[in-house]
Amino acid sequence: MKLFEYEAKSILARYGVPTPKGGLATNSKEAWEIASKLKPPFAVKAQVLVAGRGKAGGILFAESLSEVERAAEKLLSMRVKDIPVRKVWIEEKIRIKRELYFGITTDRFNRSYVAIASSVGGMEIEEIAEKTPEKLIKFLINPQHGFRSFHARQIARKMGYSGSQLLELEKIFLGLYRAGVDYDAELIEMNPLTETIDGRFVAADARIIMDDNALFRHQEFRKRLLEGESELAPQELEAIKNGLAYVKLNGNIGVIGNGAGLVMATLDTIKYYGGEPANFLDVGGGASSEKIAAALKIVLSDPNVKALFINILGGITRCDEVARGILEAREKMRVTKPTVIRLVGTNEEEGKKILKEAGIHVLESMETAAQKVVEITRQG
C-alpha cells in the first residue's frame, strides 16, 4: 500500500526526521491559509501516488500567497499521469545545497532489508542506479540486530560527512529505519534528502510503501485503503475487499485464474493467440465459492468484457468449490456472456460433474481454452 507524501512526512517527523513545515489543502482557499502561516518561498505539491510527479508538472513553486492560491487551483484541476489531484501539500521551499538519497527496502536474494544511500539524489537517482551503480552505497541489514547507530554513521561517512553533520545524518537514518520497521514498510525513502545551504538536512520528499501482508497490524491504514482516499478503480477496491488481486487491462476477454503465475501465463497465451485480455484476476490459493462468485462479479462489471475465461488448476484450490461458485454467481447475476472454463486438479472430477450437470462445458487444456475464447470474441 502506497502512502501519500503528506502521510509519509508526518510519520517521519514523528521519528525525528526534519521535514519542511507545511500543511494539506483540498482547495485554493485552504492553500492560502496554510501558506499564510509559513515563510515564503513555497512549494505546492500534488498529492498523487504515482512516481515521476515532478517531471509531470505536479510540483509548483510560489513566492507569494496569491501565487500559492493559483498554483493550488491549477494542480487541483489537473491530472498527473491520468490521476486526478484531490489534495495539495503546501510547504516552505528549502534552499538546497545538495540533494542526497536514503532509503530502505527489501533484498529478496539476501532475505534481508537493505539500506541504499547516495550523495547524488533527487530526480536522477534512477538514472544513477542504472548508469553508475558504484555511486550507490548498498548496506545489507543484519536481521539479527537490525540497523544500528554505527551503521548509520558508517554510511554517513561514506557519503563524505563528518562532525555534527555525521551525527545529524545518524539520527535521520535511524529515524527512517525505525519508522520503516514500525510501519512494516517494504520501501521507505527520502528522495531528495536535502542538505540546506546552512548545512542542515531536511527530507524534502518522502515515500512509504507498506507491506500489504502486514496491513492486519495497521488497521487504520487498511481502513483508509478500503474507504477511499486511494487511487484505486472501483473494481480494484472491490477486489481488495474480497482478498482478490485485480488489475484492469484494455482488452475484451475477462480472465479469472488461481495463482499469479498461471494468470500471467493465461494472459500471455491469450495474446499469443491474438486475443486481448480485459483484466488480470487472481483468486489466490484455496478460494471459496463465495470468492469465486465475487471474482465473477468484478470481472463482469467491466462493460468491455465480451467473453470470460476461467482457468483453474486446483492445488489448495478445490475444483468443486470453484464449480459451486461459478453456478452461484451465474444464477445471481444472470450471466449470459460466453464462458470458457478450464478446470483440473484437486477434486477435479467432482467439479466437472457439478458444471456438466448445469450444462457447462469444461476444457482441460489451457491452450485449447485460450484459442476457443479468442475465437468467440472474434466472432462476437
Partner 1 sequence: MPIIVNKNTKAIVQGITGKQGSFHTKLMLEYGTKIVAGVTPGKGRTRIHNVPVYDTVEEALEKHEANASIIFVPAPFAADAILEALENGIKTIVTITEHIPIKDAISVMSYAKQQGATIIGPNTPGIISPEECKLGIMPAHIFRKGNVGIISRSGTLTYEIAASLTRNGLGQSTCLGLGGDPITGLNFVDVLKMFREDPQTEAVVLIGEIGGNLEELAAEYITKENYPKPVAAFIAGRTAPPGKRMGHAGAIIMGKAGTAESKIEALKNAGVDVAEKPSDIAGLLLRKLS
Omega before 277 within 30 of 0, i.e. cis = no
Nearer to partner 1, 200 or 271 (CB): 271
Q: Which window, 40-48, 66-74, 179-187, 326-334, contacts partner 1 (CB under 8 A)? A: 179-187
202 phi, psi to nearest 5 deg: -140, 135
10 binds partner 1 (CB under 8 A): no
Q: At closest approach, how far in Å is the CB of 79 from partner 1?
A: 17
Q: At closest approach, how far in Å is the CB of 77 from partner 1?
A: 25
Omega before 234 within 30 of 0, i.e. cis = no
Q: At closest approach, how far in Å is the CB of 179 from partner 1?
A: 13
Nearer to partner 1, 92 or 211 (CB): 211
Rounded Cα distance between 75 and 27, Å, is 10
Q: Which window, 84-92, 188-196, 267-275, 298-306, contacts partner 1 (CB under 8 A)? A: 267-275
213 binds partner 1 (CB under 8 A): yes
Q: At closest approach, how far in Å is the CB of 350 from partner 1?
A: 13
Residues 346-365: x where in contact with partner 1 by CB under 8 A, - otherwise, as a string = x-x----------------x
219 binds partner 1 (CB under 8 A): no
- Closest among 325, 323, 319 to 294, alpha carbons compared: 325
Cell numbers at residue 166, please?
555525521
Cell numbers at residue 363, please?
476444457
Q: Which window, 87-95, 254-262, 296-304, 323-331, contacts partner 1 (CB under 8 A)? A: 254-262
Binding residue count for partner 1, defined by CB under 8 A: 71
Nearer to partner 1, 171 or 330 (CB): 171
Rounded Cα distance between 135 and 142, Å, is 22
Strand-pairing partners, residue 203, are 193
Kindly identify the residues of this chain, within the stretch 91-110, that bind partner 1 according to CB under 8 A: 106, 108-109
Rounded Cα distance between 145 and 162, Å, is 25
- Closest among 306, 316, 310, 249 to 282, alpha carbons compared: 310
Q: Which window, 57-65, 117-125, 208-216, 226-234, contacts partner 1 (CB under 8 A)? A: 208-216
Q: At closest approach, how far in Å is the CB of 348 from partner 1?
A: 7
- Residue 351 · residue 320 · CB < 8 Å: yes
Alpha helices in the chain (DSSP H): 5-14, 28-36, 65-76, 125-131, 149-158, 163-182, 219-226, 234-241, 260-272, 289-300, 319-333, 348-357, 366-379
Kindly identify the residues of this chain, within the stretch 300-339, that bind partner 1 according to CB under 8 A: 313-316, 318
Contacting residue, 265, 300, 333, 335, with partner 1 by CB under 8 A: 265
Kindly identify the residues of this chain, within the stretch 123-162, that bind partner 1 according to CB under 8 A: 126, 129-130, 142-145, 148-150, 153-154, 156-157, 162
Residues 11-50: x where in contact with partner 1 by CB under 8 A, - otherwise, as a string = ----------------------------------------
Share of the chain residues as helix, strand and coil, in percent rounded to the nearest 5: 40, 25, 30
Which residue's C-alpha cell is 490521476? 83
54 binds partner 1 (CB under 8 A): no
Which positions are catalytic? 101, 189
Rounded Cα distance between 213 and 200, Å, is 36
195 binds partner 1 (CB under 8 A): no
Cell numbers at residue 124, please?
536522477
